[in-house]
Amino acid sequence: MRLFDTAYLKLTAWYVAIIMIISLLFSTWVYNQTREELQFGLNRAAQLGPFFDPGGGAWRSVVDDRLEDSRHRLLIRLVGFNAVVLAVGAAGSYWLARRTMQPIADALDAQRRFTADASHELRTPLAAMKTEIEVGLRDKKLSKDEAMALLHSNLEEVDRLGGLAESLLALTRVDVAIELTPVVLAEVTDAVVKRLRPLAEAKRIAVKTHLEPATVQGDAVALDKIIGILLDNAIKYSPQATKIVLRTYEKDGHGYVEVQDHGIGIAADGLPRIFDRFYRADTSRSAGYVSGYGLGLSIAQTLAANLDGTITVDSALGEGSTFTLSLAAA
């Protein structure tokens, strides 16, 4: 990525500049300090010189030579030291720059993938609508019934697009910090069940609840959304006339909400990916049940993470799934 290559180099240059300024200031200080010490030594020697060498200035010239030698050696060592600092500093700075920028590069990469997936999802219903409309327009003998069927089909696609837009909007809103307050899980769960019961009844699915007292650190609105997504999925992916059970309970300092269905279940190879954005397990089979975008669980998981909670899943293909939300007890 060119953008990041330039950024790595710029950041490295800044780090190296800071290191070199410190190193050069330090070297100058060492050089001046040592020179003063040597000067001091020389002055002492010059004072004592005539005592040992009453004959003349030979002593002084030896001391001067030694002093010049020492200064020269010191300068070479300091230059060497700074060269090593520059080399090691540049390598270290580049490594550090890469480490600093990596999370940003990863986030940008994820954003790019997300945009690509989202546009793909948007294009599919649009392409379907376009084809249907074009075929309808070309048909000179289009009857009123056929026109109505076309409009109905288009309306379905428009609904799909509306749902997708809503989910995408929800995804952008969930990444925010939430202030945690005590929430009674049984109350939120009960409200969600009441709201979604008509959906279950339409499929003659019995929704049972075992709500034991459990109060967690959370947020009522976010919890309502999470439990809503889990129950909605349980209804969507269950055949007619099955049973769904919701449980709330507290154990070892945690509060739990369990949503258990006896639906189609999820294959083992799909399980690790069901929380990924836009992932839909075995689309052909799922498609037989409902149309979705693979965004619900991703939203639920982000919301749960905002509440410092987790969602785990236990599922067997053809037998059913149990999703468990866990949060710190209040």
Q: Which residue in the set 286, 302, 306, 326 belongs to the binding site for ligand ADP (CB under 6 A)?
A: 286
Q: Which residue in the set 211, 231, 266, 325 belongs to the binding site for ligand ADP (CB under 6 A)?
A: 266
CA distances from 214 to 178, 188, 220, 315 (A): 20, 11, 13, 25
Six-digit token pair at 241? 């006339």
3-state secondary structure of 210: strand
Nearer to ligand ADP, 248 or 321 (CB): 321
**246 counts as binding ligand ADP under rule CB under 6 A:** no
Alpha-carbon distance of 137 to 311, in angstroms, equals: 49
**293 counts as binding ligand ADP under rule CB under 6 A:** yes
Instruction: Calculate the CA dihedral of residues 136, 141, 144, 147 and round it to 10 degrees.
Output: 0
What is the CA angle 34-65-47, rounded to 5?
A: 75
**125 counts as binding ligand ADP under rule CB under 6 A:** no
**274 counts as binding ligand ADP under rule CB under 6 A:** yes
Q: 123 with 148: CB under 8 angstroms?
A: no
Six-digit token pair at 139? 């048909």
Six-digit token pair at 276? 């990924």
**93 counts as binding ligand ADP under rule CB under 6 A:** no
**228 counts as binding ligand ADP under rule CB under 6 A:** no
Q: Which residue in the set 49, 255, 292, 309 belongs to the binding site for ligand ADP (CB under 6 A)?
A: 292
Nearer to ligand ADP, 150 or 230 (CB): 230
Contacting range for ligand ADP; rule: CB under 6 A; set: 4-12, 125-133, 136-144, 295-303: 295-303
Q: Which residues bind ligand ADP (CB under 6 A)?
A: 233-234, 237, 261, 263-266, 274, 279-281, 286, 292-298, 321
